[in-house]
Chain A
Amino acid sequence: MRTEEDALNQIERARGRKPKLTDDQVTMAHGSGGKAAAALIQAVFIEAFGAPDGEELRDAAILDLPGTRIAYTTDSYVVQPIRFPGASIGELAVNGTVNDLAVSGARPAWLSAGFILEEGLAMDELRAIAADMRQAADAAGVRIVTGDTKVVPRGAADQVFITTSGIGVIPEERRLGGAQVRQGDRVLISGPIAAHGMAVMIARGNLAISAPIESDSAPVNHWVEAMYAAVEPEAVRWMRDPTRGGLGTVANELARDTELGVLLDEEAIAVAPEVRGACDMLGIDPLYVANEGCFIAVVAADAADAAVAAMRAAGADQASVIGEIIADLPGMVAVRNGFGGTRLMDMLVTDPLPRIC
């Protein structure tokens, strides 16, 4: 009979292996941003396209051009309903791509927008979405400079799907990545979590509960810039925005990228009371719920306070330190609760909530 220790070691070996794609059809789980999605990307896309040279997978590709470095990213938006408290698909499509650039260390500059429209979509609705996009672009300080439109027959799409790509310029001195992260670094977050996922879910109207929850959809680039202005550029080690899969999944990506441990302090992670209430009622862990307006940064310990203060001064008034990088538990995420207990937090396996962004 194997001992508990043997069993645990076996698990760690099994966990260390690349996720296997076993399904012979695409399921909704492959879109959830968790383990199934990671397996799909590995087994289908990396297999076909190849991995970026010796690099971790990031929110944006970093391209070295003569005299400059740019970040290049793309994202598709299929959220349903297309309008929900706090935002719309249009606002999301701009902010999501802006944020992917910002957390790559870039200053977002230009966006493209591709639209797949379902026959019959109300023209007023499309106008409103375009207006939302313009407004979001202005707020983020980016321009939508090119686009494409396709219309498909009724039923071949659901109202409107949007794909945005974005380009941003990375200031010379910024270097981000798992290799920059050191033991003792602090993990920061720019604001409260889990509002977006819960807002969309409740907006679908098929739950027995209602709650005044608004999506947190927002551009984070101004907060990123405020942080960089307050600390030495090399003090910022790693950034990511916790969209699908939530903070829990992103923290696992951090642990994987750094081969260090991530210890989060659950008490320090802000969740609005009504969001926590809804999560508790539905048995959902807020750490796995999608966000669209916050980012995680790993910052050198001696720069953490200045970084938090700068973010707060720039409007992220609930920015805080939520954890640290530890040498124990390499590749794993642990969450310490106020109660004295510590639990391990794995990547999200499947999200029961499709089409959240």
Chain B
Amino acid sequence: MKYVDEFRDPVAAKELISTIHHLADQLGRPWKFMEVCGGHTHTIYRHGLEHLLPEAVEFVHGPGCPVCVIPRGRVDDAVWLAHRPGVIFTTFGDMMRVPGTQGSLLQAQARGADVRFVYSPLDAVKIARDNPDREVVFFAVGFETTAPSTAAALAVSQKTGVKNFFVFCNHVLINPPVRAILDTNNVKLDGLIGPGHVATVVGSDHFDFVPEEFHVPLVVTGFEPLDILQSVAMLLTQYAEGRCEVENQYARVVRSGGNAEARRMLAEVFTPRDTFEWRGLGEIPYSGYRLSDEYMAFDAETHFDLPGDRVDDHPACQCGLVLTGQIKPWECKVFGTGCTPENPIGTCMVSPEGACAAYYNFGRIPTLLANR
């Protein structure tokens, strides 16, 4: 795929890295940039970007990993739903290994629950059509990025009269957690590497509040290594030129106004909840979606009379501190010992976009080599 290779060109990377070193030298102070999105975290670790940059530039991993932010109680609800008689429970593969207090969906499957992994909510609708005598539940997770495809699945179901498809809705919004992190003084951030995929839907304008209210620059950024390097250079350039604004590095995909049709569908199918619990961040007002009244018949939460209990995180788990950038993955007490990709305690160790899994799988090597 030429499209991808262009954004992994080593020569272009070297030029950008040298620009970044030059800017960092010129500005002469440490920088903390938060990559909001888990996809960025994955790219940073997978390509070893941290170690290509000056020491003065530090990446702080943000809350934008859809799997990571789902609280434990919602995982328990998912396992409960999967065990309802006659239910086919469909989910993205990543969610299958997230542990709840009653085990993971993978373990629920071994105990007899019919859990199937899908790549798209439309696959779940197809399963519902193929199994008219079963109730099919889709475990919807993700930001404004994936919410439109859930909306599309619901719209299709409504239109074609599918009665046995239900959505367990855990869709969340990007701005409330970003605001929550900027509001607290735990981590002083110098810039945000803005979420490119979310921005394709909501538009780069959606993040204007970051420079306007918090005086922190934000660059909407793509997911290839060159995108991230260019974004770091753009953030530093803003400081060098005394600017503080939203810029769009991912202009090949993102428009300032986003995708109007996708936003219209979101508004039609979903309604913001009064409050939603985030792992590590706690309850955040208006930060999650439920199904709108018009689509209530498809809502798994009301149809199945979900227990909906709030469950505290595992006492040893420090995902919350990792998700808010307050500690590095390796600073967590159980990282790599009690909590590993094969036996995860926290969500950050499960998803390939989770900071802990990314660091565990990709991040260790330069330190290991340097130690020898």
Contacts and interface: CB of A to CB of B under 8 A. Distances in A.
Contacts of A12: 368
A14 B340 contact: yes
B336 A11 contact: yes
A149 interface: no
Given A14-B336, A207-B123, A341-B49, A5 B371 contact: yes
Contacts of B49: 341
Contacts of B46: 337, 341, 343
Most buried by A among B123, B331, B336: B336
Interface string A1-33: 110110110111010000110110111110000
B96 interface: yes
A340 B45 contact: no
B367 A8 contact: yes
Given A339-B13, A344-B361, A349 B342 contact: yes
A342 interface: yes
B119 A207 contact: yes
Contacts of A36: 342
A54 interface: no
A350 B51 contact: no
A50 interface: no
B196 interface: no
Contact of A343 (B107, B127, B365, B371): B365
B48 A28 contact: no
B8 interface: yes
A7 B330 contact: yes
A208 interface: yes
A219 B133 CA distance: 44
Interface string B195-239: 000000000000000000000000000000100000000000000
B210 to A, nearest CB: 27
A52 interface: no
A338 to B, nearest CB: 5
Nearest to A282: B119
Interface in B94-136: 96-97, 106-107, 109-111, 117-120, 122-123, 126-127
A334 interface: yes
Contacts of B367: 4-5, 8
A280 B4 contact: yes
Contact of B123 (A11, A206, A352): A206
B139 to A, nearest CB: 14
Contacts of B372: 328
A338 B10 CA distance: 6
A206 B126 contact: yes
A343 B369 CA distance: 11
Secondary structure of the B contact surface, majority rule: helix
Contacts of B360: 11, 346
A343 B117 contact: no
Interface residues of B, number: 53
Contact of B330 (A8, A25, A340, A343): A8
Which among B49, B109, B343, B366 has the highest number of chain A CB atoms within 10 Å? B343
A165 B306 CA distance: 50
Given A5-B367, A342-B365, A343-B46, A10 B107 contact: no
A155 interface: no
B365 A23 contact: no
Nearest to B370: A5
B337 interface: yes
Contacts of A349: 97, 341-342
A5 B341 CA distance: 19
Interface string A117-139: 00000000000000000000000
Interface string B344-372: 00000000100000001111111111011
Nearest to B93: A352
A273 interface: yes
Contacts of A25: 107, 110-111
A343 B106 contact: no
Contacts of B47: 337, 339, 341, 343
Interchain residue pairs A-B with the least CB separation, the first 6 = A341-B48, A11-B336, A352-B93, A343-B362, A7-B330, A27-B110
Interface of A: 1-2, 4-5, 7-8, 10-12, 14, 19-20, 22-23, 25-29, 35-36, 39, 206-209, 273, 276-277, 280, 282-283, 328-329, 332, 334, 337-346, 349-350, 352
30 contacts: A4-B330, A5-B367, A7-B331, A7-B336, A8-B336, A8-B367, A8-B368, A10-B336, A10-B337, A14-B336, A14-B340, A19-B342, A25-B110, A27-B107, A29-B97, A29-B106, A208-B119, A208-B122, A328-B369, A328-B372, A334-B365, A337-B47, A338-B8, A339-B10, A339-B13, A343-B46, A344-B365, A345-B361, A346-B341, A346-B361
Given A4-B367, A27-B110, 7 more contacts: A10-B337, A23-B110, A25-B110, A329-B368, A329-B369, A339-B8, A345-B361
Interface of B: 1, 4, 8, 10, 13-14, 45-49, 51-52, 93, 96-97, 106-107, 109-111, 117-120, 122-123, 126-127, 225, 328, 330-331, 335-337, 340-343, 352, 360-369, 371-372
